[in-house]
């Protein structure tokens, strides 16, 4: 409903949220993709009696979980995937790449995947900073090409800023499934779900972002701890009882009564 920690103050947004209260109260059930989504609904409607069902996007085994160890030689590789939009924080990555290149030439490389309105601006910024050798734009990746990008990376970076409202950032989830630490702030709504696999930074703090990258690159103990934590949080994304279909099945059963087991199984 809003970026975490930034309750709307503009009148039109507040009016919209107020007008939505009867919808939440009148629903038979609500589905949320992260604990933060549920918290916001309960903040908006403190007396809510409607049940809220948590779900997680589901993956098949053998897609991301079989990606091997990160490269053990060469530069520290960072991967971003998402819409190339200023509200996704992508322009700040160029400034960060420039600072790190000046500090440790050749130590860091970046791969940025996606498309969007900031793409031309991003290309110009990369050229202006003379970062063509360390920052690569991959374009739009698909289900088949994304795993290779994760495999090349040491860490995934999700720099969403408060201009964008997330439900649960999917790239953060996929990075953890691939066994890669994810650098992000609470604005991705991933910290509650992915726990210590996240290298959390304060929102809108480029210095903290820089320092976290340096820590992961230079402190192998810290890096391994984040990687090990990835394994501890992945089960929920292979648990079909947490799928949208399973949640919908439970909701329909609560409204209309239990259905034949074959239908319930098939819906999950």
How far does CA 3 lie from the centroid of its chain?
13
Residue 2 lies in a domain: no
Say whether both 117 and 88 belong to one domain. Answer: yes
Say whether both 134 and 210 belong to one domain. Answer: yes
Say whether both 83 and 214 belong to one domain. Answer: yes
Range of the domain at 112: 76-232
Task: Compute, in degrees rounded to 10, the torsion defined by CA atoms 135, 138, 141, 144.
Answer: -90
Going by the DSSP 8-state scheme, the letter that residue 50 receives in this structure is S
Residue 86 lies in a domain: yes
CB 83 within 8 A of CB 116: yes
Say whether both 26 and 116 belong to one domain. Answer: no
Say whether both 164 and 184 belong to one domain. Answer: yes
Instruction: Please report, in tens digits, the pLDDT of each residue of the chain (268 residues total).
Output: 888 888 888 999 999 999 999 999 999 999 999 999 999 999 999 999 999 999 999 999 988 988 999 999 899 999 999 999 988 889 999 999 999 999 999 999 999 999 999 999 999 999 999 999 999 999 999 989 999 999 999 999 999 887 778 899 999 999 999 999 999 999 999 999 999 999 999 998 999 999 999 999 999 999 999 999 999 999 999 999 999 999 999 999 999 986 655 555 454 4
Closest by CA position to 247, among listed 58, 63, 76: 58
DSSP E strand stretches across 84-228: 108-113, 135-139, 155-158, 182-184, 198-200
How far does CA 118 lie from the centroid of its chain?
20
Number of domains in the chain: 2
State pTM to two decimals.
0.90
Give the span between the Cα atoms of 255 and 57, in whole angstroms.
Answer: 24
Residue 68 lies in a domain: no
């Amino acid at each position: 409903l809003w970026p975490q920690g930034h309750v709307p103050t503009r009148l039109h947004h507040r009016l919209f949220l107020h007008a939505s209260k009867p919808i939440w109260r009148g629903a038979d059930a609500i589905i949320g993709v992260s604990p933060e989504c549920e918290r916001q609904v309960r903040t908006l409607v403190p007396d809510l009696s409607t049940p809220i069902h948590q779900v997680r996007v589901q993956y098949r085994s053998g897609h991301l979980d079989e990606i091997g160890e990160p490269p053990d030689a060469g530069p520290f590789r960072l991967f971003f995937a998402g819409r190339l939009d200023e509200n996704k924080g992508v322009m700040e990555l160029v400034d960060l790449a420039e600072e790190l290149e000046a500090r440790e030439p050749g130590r860091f490389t970046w791969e940025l995947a996606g498309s969007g309105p900031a793409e031309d601006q991003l290309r110009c910024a990369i050229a202006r900073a003379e970062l063509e050798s360390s920052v690569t734009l991959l374009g739009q990746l698909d289900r088949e090409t994304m795993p290779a990008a994760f495999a090349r990376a040491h860490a995934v970076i999700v720099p969403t800023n408060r201009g964008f409202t997330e439900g649960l950032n999917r790239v953060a989830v996929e990075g953890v499934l691939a066994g890669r630490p994810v650098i992000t702030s609470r604005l991705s709504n991933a910290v509650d779900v992915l726990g210590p696999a996240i290298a959390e930074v304060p929102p809108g703090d480029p210095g903290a972002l820089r320092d976290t990258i340096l820590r992961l690159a230079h402190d192998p103990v810290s890096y391994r701890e984040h990687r090990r934590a990835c394994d501890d949080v992945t089960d929920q994304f292979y648990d079909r009882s947490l799928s949208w279909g399973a949640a919908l099945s439970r909701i329909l059963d609560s409204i209309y009564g239990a259905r034949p087991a074959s239908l319930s199984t098939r819906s999950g």
